[in-house]
């Protein structure tokens, strides 16, 4: 990633100098942008510019004499490779949190932050005794980054009712009623995916997620004030937004917040920058904590969105089958990056395909041990016989977003027994989660152990969550639901889409992950708490038979796997070429002991 002509090793000194001019001893920079999103525009890649670390989650702290970069278990190896060791310490954010590091290194210092880039919950997690955290009027990185790219200003386009399934007016009306019931006059909408869902619009301001930058104030009467440059709006946007949406220039945001004096305003402490809190409080508004009102309704897909996801996965299943077949025919010797381009080409055969939903993880052998590995031209490995290949990818379609992972054995020789065991234990976890029925009110945290139990039996595990929510032609990572060891209070509800992706990683050797997307739906079973829920599988792509140790599967697991492969063949075969259909017969045939 080329972000600047300024040498990487000179950037910390420039930021330290800028901090000094602002009256701060140091600075904390999170990965996110002004909209606190996972994916950011090139102009907002401040963490990458300063440190060289390009992971999608992390933060850094720079002090007069030392500095550190923090990220989670997905990126610890990537930090080691990308961040200059002579300039930055590297820390696991969960095991060595920033607050502990500041307590050790920053006692008595005044450490700055950008109030437009930091949420209240984020700021609270950094607090530690003896360290003063202060908002800065200007961002020292922006001052030092003199050749920073321009902010995006692409067109904003309508998301038609045939894909959204509900008008913006109806969404605003029911969310406004919820605000009224809570005794609130308005809510700040700062999450760009919420803005896109609420107004039925899409954009291209960040890579891989079709959102347009902007903010909104949703009022309890169902009206909304939208802060976006009007010259960005294309034909049809006004119609899909409907009556009751007023467009303001972004420069008017502070004034319109100030106009809420005397009102009660909901602000999400996780998805909204602290600048909104201070601006509203200074104006005399009453700020109350509350989840972004769009978050849960956006996660619960309506019937139109559910059908759109099924359609997207049907197209994706054909593309994945063509890709996997192509590896058998002409995969050996191809670079990891070439394989990403190949898969993207198969998806692009559908005229509905827009772009990847995230940067594909195409990993041969030891590169697969990095859960969020990203291949780079000139540094990537080639597909070689006798190796494990992991491909984690997804697509954006106007009616749905996909995400799927398959792990393959490359070559004709038999895979080693220890790899087959690891793969099969990961598969057992995937199947256990796929088959479960659970009562209403169940959180993803309570289901996570199902995906890990077979691994735990032999001392294995993986350092990432098992499942995340998926947007509807929006973010590939969407809350509030998840399936993870980290407890979240949000229960899984019918209409939510989650991933199912247990894995296992052997550093220096290989990585294994098997991922399908699943839709939560009512089951036929009713208990004392009401109708139980279950999962409908959305992804249909063969799972590599050669890596399965059938002796480790019980009867129920084997039956599930054979039924799944029969469904793959039934769904995909009619849509592909004869030679590919014949291949599907072979790779989807029932397994027996």
In a domain, 177, yes or no: yes
* Chosen domain end from 115, 144, 173: 144
CATH code for position 286: 3.40.350.10
In a domain, 584, yes or no: no
Residue 516 and residue 499 in contact, taking contact as beta carbons nearer than 8 Å: yes
- Axis crossing angle, helix 578-587 with helix 303-330, rounded to the nearest 10: 90
Taking the CA atoms of 121, 290, 225 and 169 in sequence, report the sign of the dihedral they define: positive
Q: What helix, strand, coil percent values describe the chain, rounded to 5?
A: 40, 20, 40
CA atoms within 13 A on the CB side of 498: 30
In a domain, 586, yes or no: no
Mark whether 548 and 459 lie in a shared domain. yes
Residue 197 and residue 203 in contact, taking contact as beta carbons nearer than 8 Å: no
In a domain, 510, yes or no: yes
- Axis crossing angle, helix 417-435 with helix 555-572, rounded to the nearest 10: 80
DSSP code per residue over 80-92: HHHS-TTT-EEEE
User: 283 is in which domain, residue-wise?
Assistant: 157-293
Mark whether 361 and 385 lie in a shared domain. yes
Q: Which stretches within 265-302 are classed as H helix?
A: 274-283, 295-299
Mark whether 267 and 323 lie in a shared domain. no
Mapping DSSP to helix (H, G, I), strand (E, B) and coil, where does residue 429 land?
helix
Residue 486 and residue 404 in contact, taking contact as beta carbons nearer than 8 Å: no
Instruction: Please name every residue paired with 90 in a beta bridge, in sequence order, or none if there are none.
Output: 69
Mark whether 390 and 413 lie in a shared domain. yes
**Within the chain, how many helices (H) and strands (E) appear?**
19, 27
Mark whether 114 and 204 lie in a shared domain. no
Rg, the chain, Cα only: 24
DSSP code per residue over 33-89: -TT--SS--GGG-HHHHHH----SS-EEEE-SS-EEEEE-TTTHHHHHHHS-TTT-E
> Which helix H or strand E contains 104, and what residues bound it?
helix 98-105
Closest among 134, 91, 126 to 109, alpha carbons compared: 134
Q: How far apart are alpha carbons 546 and 77 in whole angstroms?
A: 29
C-alpha torsion 308→312→314→316, nearest 10:
-170
In a domain, 181, yes or no: yes
In a domain, 267, yes or no: yes
In a domain, 330, yes or no: yes
Mapping DSSP to helix (H, G, I), strand (E, B) and coil, where does residue 361 land?
strand
Mark whether 67 and 192 lie in a shared domain. no
Mark whether 345 and 457 lie in a shared domain. yes
* Chosen domain end from 293, 314, 330: 293
Number of domains in the chain: 3
DSSP code per residue over 205-268: SBTTB-----EEEEETTS-EEEES-GGGBPTTHHHHH-TTEEEE-GGGHHHHHHTTTTSEEEE-
Mark whether 383 and 511 lie in a shared domain. yes
Q: How far apart are alpha carbons 48 and 152 in whole angstroms?
A: 18
In a domain, 569, yes or no: no
Q: Which stretches within 361-520 are classed as H helix?
A: 417-435, 444-456
Mark whether 427 and 377 lie in a shared domain. yes
Q: Which residues of the chain have pLDDT under 50?
A: none
Predicted pLDDT of residue 1: 57
Mark whether 244 and 309 lie in a shared domain. no
* Chosen domain end from 239, 271, 293: 293
Q: How far is the CA of 571 from the CAs of 158, 407, 518, 565, in angstroms?
A: 31, 21, 16, 10
Three-state secondary structure of 330-344: HCCCCEHHHHHHHHH
Mark whether 530 and 383 lie in a shared domain. yes
Closest among 310, 317, 387, 397 to 355, alpha carbons compared: 397
Residue 225 and residue 246 in contact, taking contact as beta carbons nearer than 8 Å: yes
Please state, rounded to an integer, the average pLDDT across all residues of the chain. 96
Mark whether 285 and 318 lie in a shared domain. no
């Amino acid at each position: 990633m080329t972000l600047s002509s300024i040498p990487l090793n000179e950037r910390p000194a420039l930021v330290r100098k800028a901090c000094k001019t602002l009256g701060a001893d140091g600075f904390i920079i999170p990965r996110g942008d002004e909209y606190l999103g996972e994916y950011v525009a090139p102009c907002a890649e401040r963490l990458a510019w300063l440190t060289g670390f390009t992971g999608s989650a992390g933060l850094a702290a720079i002090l007069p004499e030392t500095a550190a970069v923090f990220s989670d278990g997905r990126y610890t190896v990537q930090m080691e490779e990308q961040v200059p060791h002579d300039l930055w310490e590297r820390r696991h954010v969960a095991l060595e949190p920033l607050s502990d590091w500041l307590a050790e290194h920053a006692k008595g210092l005044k450490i700055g932050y950008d109030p437009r880039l930091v949420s209240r919950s984020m700021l609270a997690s950094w607090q530690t005794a003896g360290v003063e955290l202060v908002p800065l009027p200007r961002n020292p990185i922006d001052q030092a980054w003199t050749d920073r790219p321009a902010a995006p200003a692409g067109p904003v386009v309508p998301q038609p009712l045939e894909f959204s399934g509900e008008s913006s007016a109806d969404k605003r009306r029911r969310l406004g009623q919820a605000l009224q019931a809570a005794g609130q006059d308005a809510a700040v909408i700062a999450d760009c995916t919420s803005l896109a869902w609420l107004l039925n619009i899409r954009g291209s301001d960040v890579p891989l997620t079709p959102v347009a930058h902007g903010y909104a104030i949703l009022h309890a009467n169902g009206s909304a004030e939208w802060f976006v440059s009007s010259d960005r709006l294309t034909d049809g946007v006004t119609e899909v937004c409907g009556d009751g949406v007023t467009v303001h220039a972004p420069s008017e945001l502070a004034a319109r917040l100030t106009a809420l004096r005397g009102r009660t305003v909901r602000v999400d402490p996780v998805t909204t920058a602290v600048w909104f809190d201070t601006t509203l409080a200074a104006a005399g508004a009453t700020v109350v904590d509350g989840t972004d009102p769009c978050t849960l309704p956006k996660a619960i897909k309506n019937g139109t969105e559910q059908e759109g996801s099924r359609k997207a996965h049907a197209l994706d299943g054909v593309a994945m089958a063509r890709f996997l077949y192509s590896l058998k025919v002409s995969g050996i010797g191809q670079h990891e990056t070439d394989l990403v381009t190949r898969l993207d080409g198969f998806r692009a055969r559908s005229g509905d395909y827009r772009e990847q939903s995230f940067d594909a993880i195409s990993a041969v052998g030891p590169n697969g041990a990095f859960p969020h590995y990203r291949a780079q031209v000139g540094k990537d490995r080639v597909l070689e016989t006798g190796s494990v290949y992991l491909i984690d990818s997804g697509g954006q379609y106007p009616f749905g977003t996909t995400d799927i992972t398959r792990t393959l054995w490359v070559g004709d020789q038999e895979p080693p027994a220890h790899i087959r065991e690891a793969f099969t234990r990961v598969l057992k976890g995937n199947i256990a989660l796929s088959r479960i029925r659970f009562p209403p009110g169940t959180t993803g945290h309570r289901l996570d152990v199902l995906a890990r139990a077979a691994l735990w039996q032999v001392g294995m595990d993986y350092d990432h969550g098992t499942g995340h929510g998926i947007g509807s032609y929006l973010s590939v990572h969407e809350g509030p639901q998840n399936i993870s060891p980290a407890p979240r209070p949000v229960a899984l509800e019918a209409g939510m889409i989650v991933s199912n992706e247990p894995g296992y990683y052997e550093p220096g050797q290989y990585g294994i992950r098997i991922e399908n997307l699943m839709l939560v739906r009512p089951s036929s079973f009713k208990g004392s708490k009401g109708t139980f829920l279950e999962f409908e599988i959305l992804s249909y792509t063969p799972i590599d038979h050669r890596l399965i140790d059938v002796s480790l599967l019980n009867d129920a697991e084997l039956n599930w796997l054979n039924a799944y492969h029969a469904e793959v063949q039934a769904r995909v075969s009619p849509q592909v070429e004869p030679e590919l259909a014949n291949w599907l017969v072979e790779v989807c045939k029932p397994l027996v002991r």
